[in-house]
């Protein structure tokens, strides 16, 4: 498989950069100190979700790299709450950046980021899981929401 730079952390970095640039170009403070406090909690929650998800995937001895075939269907830990806890964590980090950098006009970037992630990664991942695990995936997908 050829090396690809189409990875979710790079998309997250790009979106955070856009938030920062928007803040420089269109300074409009709105969240203040409360936004910074909430941002800290969101970063902690987002990174925590990512860490817990990576731990579950490592325990199951399956890949966490997008575009690779999974060896196991992980349904334990945070995967009981979200089918995509790492992407949910990325989204929380982006929202935290909007709050921390105090750029209210960047809030629409959060659902846009979710759309990009769904179209570039989640749809293909779900297709691979459906192909590999069939009814087991369908049962899990029926029970656990994609995001939360």
Write a three-state SS string for 4-30: CCCCHHHHHHHHHHHHHHHHHHCCCCC
Confirm whether 11 is domain-assigned.
no
Confirm whether 88 is domain-assigned.
yes
pTM of the model: 0.93
Tell me, what DSSP letter sits at residue 53?
H
Inter-residue contact 4 to 67 (CB < 8 Å): yes
Confirm whether 73 is domain-assigned.
yes
Tell me, what DSSP letter sits at residue 68?
S
- CA distance from start to end of the chain: 32
Confirm whether 128 is domain-assigned.
yes
Confirm whether 22 is domain-assigned.
no
Q: What was the pLDDT predicted at 5? A: 76
CA 14 to CA 107: how far, in whole Å? 15
Confirm whether 102 is domain-assigned.
yes
Instruction: Give the contacts of 121 (CB within 8 A, at least 6 positions apart).
Output: 8, 66, 87
Question: Range of 95's domain?
Answer: 29-143
pLDDT in 10s for each residue of the chain, 148 residues: 445 678 999 999 999 999 999 999 988 888 989 999 999 999 999 999 999 999 999 999 999 998 899 999 999 999 999 999 999 999 999 999 999 999 999 999 999 999 999 999 999 999 999 999 999 999 999 999 999 9
Confirm whether 38 is domain-assigned.
yes
Residue 36, token pair as written in the block? 């910074």
Confirm whether 89 is domain-assigned.
yes
Inter-residue contact 46 to 91 (CB < 8 Å): yes
Q: What was the pLDDT predicted at 4? A: 62
Structural domain count, the chain: 1
């Amino acid at each position: 498989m050829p090396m690809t730079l189409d990875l979710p952390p790079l998309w997250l970095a790009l979106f955070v950069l856009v938030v920062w640039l928007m803040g420089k170009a269109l300074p409009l403070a709105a969240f203040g100190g409360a936004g910074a406090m909430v941002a800290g909690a969101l970063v902690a929650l987002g990174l925590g979700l990512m860490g817990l998800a990576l731990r579950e995937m490592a325990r199951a001895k399956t890949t966490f790299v997008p575009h690779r075939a999974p060896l196991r269907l992980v349904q334990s830990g945070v995967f009981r709450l979200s089918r995509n806890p790492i992407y949910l964590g990325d989204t929380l980090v982006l929202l935290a950046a909007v709050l921390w950098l105090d750029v209210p006009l960047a809030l629409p970037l959060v659902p846009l980021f979710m759309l990009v992630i769904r179209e570039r990664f989640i749809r293909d991942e779900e297709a691979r899981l459906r192909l590999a695990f069939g009814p087991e995936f369908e049962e899990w997908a029926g029970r656990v929401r994609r995001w939360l």
